[in-house]
Chains A and B, each alone.
Chain A
Amino acid sequence: AQSVAQPEDQVNVAEGNPLTVKCTYSVSGNPYLFWYVQYPNRGLQFLLKYITGDNLVKGSYGFEAEFNKSQTSFHLKKPSALVSDSALYFCAVRANTGGFKTIFGAGTRLFVKA
């Protein structure tokens, strides 16, 4: 069965500092991995995805994520946080075989202090 864990409910970081939002997953076969961001009273916005290839994936707004197969992780990173990055971040996984079901983590709230 597929599952996603985001071990931190909340991450606090000062503006200008690097940020990391953690995600681990479990899926049969090779995973498709995604990060989405949700602002208050809005739908989810796509940030980046890993399908295959280079383990370091670059996405929107300066975010990147590193796929680590041995640790089954897909942590979201940004070298220098902005106050405007404060939002709710979701990691999601989908197996590349056997259906279209996408599983989301519970989310991590990011607070960036000025």
Chain B
Amino acid sequence: DAGVTQSPTHLIKTRGQQVTLRCSPISGHKSVSWYQQVLGQGPQFIFQYYEKEERGRGNFPDRFSARQFPNYSSELNVNALLLGDSALYLCASSLAGEETQYFGPGTRLLVL
């Protein structure tokens, strides 16, 4: 079975631009979470979605938004990019109500 997949793998943007990151969960998983991992730090929780509804939100500005589609895939959008948004963005999926999250390889975003 395929694991969690994310696209693109790498991305370079300039300040002020907008970016969309995509995630496909493991087949059968209905929950997707997004994390930001800045170099040298642990992942920081951004959002969790379950059955297309937001179930959790971390301490990130409104420039960050996400959605989950009927096929349980998800997109993370970041508007008005700042240099500080440069990071590895990780997606994780889990079964409905199941606690173990399985992570994708991440999308590395560089903002210049």
Contact = CB atoms under 8 A, between A and B. Distances in A.
Contacts of B65: none
A106 B33 CA distance: 19
B56 A99 contact: yes
Nearest to B106: A43
Contacts of B100: 34, 46, 49
Contact of A107 (B42, B44, B50, B103): B42
B42 A105 contact: yes
Contacts of B43: 44, 90, 104
B42 A106 contact: yes
B39 to A, nearest CB: 11
A4 B48 CA distance: 19
Interface residues of B, number: 24
A51 B33 CA distance: 19
A4 B42 CA distance: 10
A106 to B, nearest CB: 5
A101 B103 contact: no
A45 B48 contact: no
Interface string A21-47: 000000000001010100000111110
Interface of B: 4, 31, 33, 35, 41-45, 48, 50, 55-56, 58, 90, 92, 99-106
23 contacts: A34-B100, A43-B4, A43-B104, A43-B105, A43-B106, A44-B90, A44-B92, A44-B103, A45-B103, A46-B100, A46-B101, A90-B42, A100-B31, A100-B33, A100-B55, A101-B45, A101-B48, A102-B33, A102-B45, A104-B42, A104-B43, A104-B45, A107-B41
Interface of A: 4, 32, 34, 36, 42-46, 49, 51, 90, 94, 99-107
